[in-house]
């Protein structure tokens, strides 16, 4: 019998599995998908990892295993209101940081986690599902994503809704040569436009002129022709990165907001997207999940020192209390951004551009924005 059974070896289930295994807990991990395989080049599926999450991934031995070509450090973030009237730009230096975060290829990160498990002798049962009624364990961890069947089986209720939008992702290639009107810092910046068709993020890849595109929109940006997509991309990016030379295959993901009422029950706990899924516009979903994983391991280790059972509801409630506030605040903030930046109202538009300018010009507000974006708050 294993002490901890984890359903789901995504980023969050795996990071928790590694951290718990390193703390000496007996861990068993199941994932219905096959083990990830390293892609040849960076894919369009990336995540922005904040410095706090990167430190956690380093502590559990994963960070150093990600090949450099799949990680791009970014030093500056520029946000535009898409009307050419308001913008904010913040740098790592202004926040006293060495970088604002990292853009990491999702598959390369999963491969690094899987290799780390092999090195540390933690077996992951790929392409296997588990019958949770049959498994003997002290604690069951549901890390099987936003559509978690384990959460349903445990009877933990959720609330949520669809945004009626999809996030379209691809890699866009801008000219590798910088013309004099473009910033020499172009390739070390992350960009966000709140364009008429929805929030558009351009995240630098470790390959000159290449950016991962994450475009949240109610329009179908996958079926339109490549030429139409490139024209729309050039129009929305206002020429700030230069002309688009080409784009990769586009994929799309439906967007939703979802929160479980309770993250815990006696002997079981929800982790990552199984507990909370938020709009990706600020790139915070996985970062919240890494913080869940780190917090849960800390609470289980404390319980062991106190001589308490790791499935004890009192112990698990401590994890829930610590994590719920942060994930609910993040969900509220994403909702606020979404409403403010998708509103057609001219009054909201005026406040939006004034608001961006105000934060840009006020050092204290700016430092606060940097702290939130880099996971320090």
Ligand X SMILES: Cc1cc2nc3c(=O)[nH]c(=O)nc-3n(C[C@H](O)[C@H](O)[C@H](O)COP(=O)(O)OP(=O)(O)OC[C@H]3O[C@@H](n4cnc5c(N)ncnc54)[C@H](O)[C@@H]3O)c2cc1C
* Residues at the contact surface with ligand X, assessed by CB under 6 A: 7-13, 30-33, 47-48, 129, 143-145, 149, 167, 169, 214, 253, 272-273, 280, 283-287, 289
265-293: string of b/e by CB count within 10 Å (b at 16+)?
Answer: bebbbbbbbbbbbbbbbbbbbbbbbbbbb
Q: Which two tokens stand for residue 354?
A: 């004034």
Shortest distance, position 286 Cβ to ligand X, whole Å: 3
Beta strands 27-31 and 4-7 are: parallel
Q: Kindly state the greatest CA–CA separation across the chain.
A: 65
Shortest distance, position 275 Cβ to ligand X, whole Å: 8
Q: What is the C-alpha to C-alpha distance for residues 183 and 95, in angstroms, rounded to an integer? A: 21
Shortest distance, position 214 Cβ to ligand X, whole Å: 5
- If the CB atoms of residues 28 and 349 are measured against ligand X, the closer one turns out to be 28
Q: Which two tokens stand for residue 143?
A: 């890390």
Shortest distance, position 10 Cβ to ligand X, whole Å: 2
Beta strands 158-174 and 251-260 are: antiparallel
- If the CB atoms of residues 91 and 257 are measured against ligand X, the closer one turns out to be 257
- If the CB atoms of residues 257 and 353 are measured against ligand X, the closer one turns out to be 257
- If the CB atoms of residues 78 and 287 are measured against ligand X, the closer one turns out to be 287
- If the CB atoms of residues 242 and 285 are measured against ligand X, the closer one turns out to be 285
CB 4 within 8 A of CB 30: no
* Beta-carbon contacts of residue 151 (< 8 Å; ≥ 6 apart): 142, 144, 158, 260, 270, 274
Q: Which two tokens stand for residue 360?
A: 């840009």
Q: What is the C-alpha to C-alpha distance for residues 151 and 129, in angstroms, rounded to an integer? A: 14
Q: What is the C-alpha to C-alpha distance for residues 3 and 129, in angstroms, rounded to an integer? A: 18
- If the CB atoms of residues 288 and 349 are measured against ligand X, the closer one turns out to be 288
Phi, psi of 131, deg, nearest 5: -90, 110
Shortest distance, position 159 Cβ to ligand X, whole Å: 18
3-state secondary structure 293-315: HHHHHHHHHHHHHHCCCCCCHHH
With tokens 């934060």, the residue in question is: 359
Task: Report how far Cα 143 is from the mean position of its chain's Cα atoms.
Answer: 15
- If the CB atoms of residues 30 and 90 are measured against ligand X, the closer one turns out to be 30
- If the CB atoms of residues 273 and 353 are measured against ligand X, the closer one turns out to be 273
Name the closest residue to ligand X (Cβ): 10
- If the CB atoms of residues 19 and 353 are measured against ligand X, the closer one turns out to be 19
Shortest distance, position 261 Cβ to ligand X, whole Å: 18
Q: What is the C-alpha to C-alpha distance for residues 296 and 9, in angstroms, rounded to an integer? A: 16
Closest by CA position to 50, among listed 259, 321, 336, 285: 285
Shortest distance, position 110 Cβ to ligand X, whole Å: 8
Shortest distance, position 364 Cβ to ligand X, whole Å: 26
Partners of 140 in the β-ladder: 5, 268
Shortest distance, position 172 Cβ to ligand X, whole Å: 15
- If the CB atoms of residues 32 and 304 are measured against ligand X, the closer one turns out to be 32
CB 156 within 8 A of CB 260: yes
In eight-state DSSP terms, residue 241 is T
Q: Which two tokens stand for residue 273?
A: 């997207």
Shortest distance, position 13 Cβ to ligand X, whole Å: 5
């Amino acid at each position: 019998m294993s002490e901890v059974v984890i359903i789901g070896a995504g980023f969050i289930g795996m990071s928790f599995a590694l951290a718990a295994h390193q703390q000496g807990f007996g861990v068993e991990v199941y994932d219905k998908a096959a083990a990830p395989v390293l892609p040849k080049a960076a894919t369009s599926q990336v995540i922005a990892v904040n410095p706090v999450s990167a430190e956690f991934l380093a502590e559990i031995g994963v960070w150093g295993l990600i090949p450099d070509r799949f990680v791009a450090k970014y030093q500056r973030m520029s946000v535009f209101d898409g009307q050419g009237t308001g913008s904010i730009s913040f740098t790592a230096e202004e926040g006293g940081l060495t970088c604002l975060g990292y853009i990491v290829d999702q598959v390369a990160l999963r491969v690094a986690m899987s290799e780390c498990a092999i090195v540390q002798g933690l077996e992951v049962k790929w392409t296997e599902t588990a019958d949770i009624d049959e498994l003997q364990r002290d604690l069951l961890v549901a890390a099987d994503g936003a559509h978690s069947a384990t959460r349903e089986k445990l009877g933990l209720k959720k609330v949520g809704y669809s945004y009626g939008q999809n996030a379209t992702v691809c890699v866009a290639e801008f000219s590798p040569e910088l013309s004099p009107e473009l910033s020499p810092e172009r390739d070390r910046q992350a960009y966000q436009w709140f364009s008429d068709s929805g929030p558009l993020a351009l995240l630098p890849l470790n390959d000159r002129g290449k950016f991962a595109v994450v475009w949240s929109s109610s329009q179908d940006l996958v079926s339109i022709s490549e030429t139409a997509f490139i024209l729309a991309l050039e129009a929305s990016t206002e020429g700030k990165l230069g002309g688009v030379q080409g784009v990769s295959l586009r994929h799309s993901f439906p967007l939703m907001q979802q929160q479980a009422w309770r993250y815990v029950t006696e002997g079981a706990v929800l982790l990552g997207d199984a507990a909370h899924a938020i709009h990706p516009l600020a790139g915070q979903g996985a970062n919240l999940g890494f913080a869940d994983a780190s917090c849960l391991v800390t609470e289980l280790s404390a319980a062991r020192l106190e001589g308490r059972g790791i499935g004890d509801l009192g112990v698990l409630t401590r994890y829930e209390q610590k994590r719920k506030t942060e994930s609910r605040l993040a969900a509220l903030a994403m909702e606020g951004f979404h409403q403010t930046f998708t509103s057609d109202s001219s009054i909201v538009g005026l406040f939006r551009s004034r608001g961006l300018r105000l934060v840009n010009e006020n050092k204290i507000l700016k430092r606060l924005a940097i702290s939130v974006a880099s996971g320090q708050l």
